[in-house]
Chain A
Amino acid sequence: QQQVKQSPQSLIVQKGGISIINCAYENTAFDYFPWYQQFPGKGPALLIAIRPDVSEKKEGRFTISFNKSAKQFSLHIMDSQPGDSATYFCAASIGGGSNYKLTFGKGTLLTVNP
Chain B
Amino acid sequence: ETGVTQSPTHLIKTRGQQVTLRCSSQSGHNTVSWYQQALGQGPQFIFQYYREEENGRGNFPPRFSGLQFPNYSSELNVNALELDDSALYLCASSLGRNTGELFFGEGSRLTVL
Which A residues are closer than 8 A to B by beta carbons?
Answer: 4, 6, 41-46, 89, 91, 95, 97-107
Contact = CB atoms under 8 A, between A and B. Distances in A.
Interface residues of B, number: 26
Interface of B: 4, 33, 35, 40-45, 48, 55-56, 58, 90, 92, 94, 97-102, 104-107
A99 B43 contact: no
A41 B41 CA distance: 15
B43 A89 contact: yes
A100 B40 contact: no
A103 B107 CA distance: 18
A104 B42 contact: yes
Contacts of A46: 101-102
Nearest to B91: A43
Nearest to A1: B59
Contacts, number: 58
B102 A102 contact: yes
B56 A89 contact: no
Contacts of B90: 43-44
Contact of A104 (B33, B43, B56, B98): B43
A99 B45 contact: no
Contact of A107 (B41, B48, B107): B41
